[in-house]
């Protein structure tokens, strides 16, 4: 039986495992490593703080994630893959209420970003990933 996400070390494991998949992904990898040219040494600690703030309310993250995504050449397909890989990674590593909460929040964040980018079309239309 897997344990639930309980602390910063678990967040770090999730983020590192997730972005390892992103780096290998044929759809997302080129966005992160090509177009955005992400400096992973700098980016990963920011993601640890972001997800710790989202899940545990630590307030460690001090930024605005959405504006950085506006310039990326991404569409609904990219968001769907991101959510799928995120949830898959979480399920491989953990189980429990905090894990469910984190997956729900990740899905909500992806939906909000898509709405702000005009990718979801009519508000109220069912969204599926």
Q: What is the dihedral of CA 119, 69, 23, 91, to 10 degrees?
A: -60
- Is residue 65 within 8 Å of 50, Cβ to Cβ? yes
Here the tokens at position 119 are 């990718």
Nearest to 4 by CA among 98, 129, 88: 98
- Residue 42 assigned to a binding site: yes
Binding residue positions for heme: 42
Binding residue positions: 42
């Amino acid at each position: 039986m897997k344990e639930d996400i309980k602390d910063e070390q678990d967040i770090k494991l999730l983020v590192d495992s997730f972005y390892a998949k992103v780096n290998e992904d044929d759809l997302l990898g080129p966005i992160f490593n090509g177009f955005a040219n992400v400096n992973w040494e700098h980016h990963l600690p920011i993601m640890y703080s972001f997800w710790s703030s989202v899940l545990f309310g630590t307030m460690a993250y001090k930024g605005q994630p959405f504006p950085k995504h506006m310039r990326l050449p991404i569409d609904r397909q990219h968001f769907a893959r991101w959510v799928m890989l995120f949830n898959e990674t979480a399920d491989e590593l953990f189980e429990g209420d905090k894990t469910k909460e984190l997956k729900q929040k990740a899905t909500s964040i992806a939906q909000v970003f898509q709405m702000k980018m005009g990718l979801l079309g009519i508000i109220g239309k069912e969204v599926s990933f």
